[in-house]
Structure 1
């Protein structure tokens, strides 16, 4: 099996184990000291004990269906552009747009899983379900406290602190005029260089889905090729306050 296919297969094993509610198989995907940051901006979970607590809190009680739109393999990373369908108890179903970034320690083991999705938007969607969502929310809070304690619950709540609409506009504008910014750019797993050096690679992208999580805005990008095919990428734009500090563009190999 080629490396690209092996990396994609490893990333796909995660939703398979989630769908099967196979805790052992899911944990076995991660390298020693493997990390999950879900959502980005919350406190990460590292190592088998913390990953087990994460599984018991967020995966075990729910049915999670992955609806992938595009998968990108770039360097040691697989990025999945997708929507998560989370079927909770009492008939509450949430649709969560996401970018999932799998950094691989090897083609068969995951070093880090970073889930970019908007926690405030998901909570707002849940509250919009009305009174039926209240018991679901209460049970989630109890599971958090039981499995991760007060510190873990507060760590999860850090996911509410994130970039916002203004940062999304700045990130999208970068691809209209990349030379106007001095943010360094990592493109297609190459070393970071000034954006002006990559002008030809950075122009022509159409910005689609935008997600604000933690210090990041992530963007779905598409661009037409001379052959008539569509090229796909995902950009991860990191901010310090209102300043765009660096951009990483994952382009499919």
Structure 2
């Protein structure tokens, strides 16, 4: 598939635009027939185009339930931190998501977003969204014993149980487990080793020398970091073995 970077950017930008306008049908229409949404990475992915046992049919029903649970009741705003990166069929966005949950409760989540595109019915559509953000700090912002936070928490739990079921709700909460600070340390050491000229570290990074790491996020078995390559903005995405905390794969988007 050959795609114009401008078309890919338009596709990626259409997602937060539909979210801001609470346009569910427009948002669902951005996705290819078969799609996956990892939001957050480390939680249970939303799979579309497969058989949905709850509705007993194939389609976008799991994605629609995701919308009803996490998007529909909230006011979600994207604050862009750096220029977007288009690398092949992937658009990378460095953002902070502001979620207004009602009753004056607001949460902010630093995030790296990956939109992977494919050609579906002759048009570029979203095949995968990977939202890298840390669940524990988000939970900490909305947890509490104030009437507003208790009401928001109760409402959120009710929606999750209704739309996702007990298993889906537990799976979402399990995303709080990640490679965490030890994983971030392992990635920093990898980058430092590559900077010193270590051949194994350079091979892992595809021969690219990564510098100027700023925002770094651990989600599931991944660590992402805002960085530079040859002085230009880039994103480092590392996949780790959870038992050894060894980086087994690294993608550099630049």
> TM-score w.r.t. structure 2 length?
0.86
Give the corresponding residue for 1:117.
133
The number of residue pairs the alignment matches comes to 233
Secondary structure at the counterpart of residue 12 of structure 2: helix
Secondary structure at the counterpart of residue 42 of structure 2: coil
Counterpart selection for 1:248 from 235, 248, 251 = 251
Q: CA deviation at 1:108?
A: 2.5
Give the corresponding residue for 1:216.
222
Counterpart selection for 2:61 from 49, 61, 68 = 49
Give the corresponding residue for 2:186.
170
Secondary structure at the counterpart of residue 41 of structure 1: coil
Residues 66-120 of structure 1, C-alpha deviation per residue, up to 9 Å, x if partnerless? 0112211101101100000101111111111000111101373000101000011
Give the corresponding residue for 1:4.
5
2:215 paired with 1:202: no
Give the corresponding residue for 2:72.
60
2:40 paired with 1:33: no
Residues 203-226 of structure 1, C-alpha deviation per residue, up to 9 Å, x if partnerless? 5x110001010000100003574x
Aligned residue runs from structure 1 range 55-134, under 5 A: 55-70=67-82, 71-106=84-119, 108-127=124-143, 130-134=146-150
The ranges of structure 1 where at least 4 consecutive aligned residues each deviate by more than 6 angstroms after the TM superposition are none
Q: Which runs of 5+ in 2 are unaligned?
A: 49-59
CA distance in 2 between partners of 1:37 and 1:195 (Å): 24
Q: Measured at CA, do residues 12 and 182 of structure 1 come closer, stay the same or move farther in structure 2, by a change above 3 Å?
A: same
Q: Which runs of 5+ in 1 are unaligned?
A: 186-193, 226-230
Give the corresponding residue for 2:52.
none
On the 8 A contact 2:213/2:226 being kept in 1, the answer is yes
On the 8 A contact 1:162/1:213 being kept in 2, the answer is yes
Secondary structure at the counterpart of residue 177 of structure 1: helix
Secondary structure at the counterpart of residue 88 of structure 1: strand
Q: CA deviation at 1:131?
A: 4.5
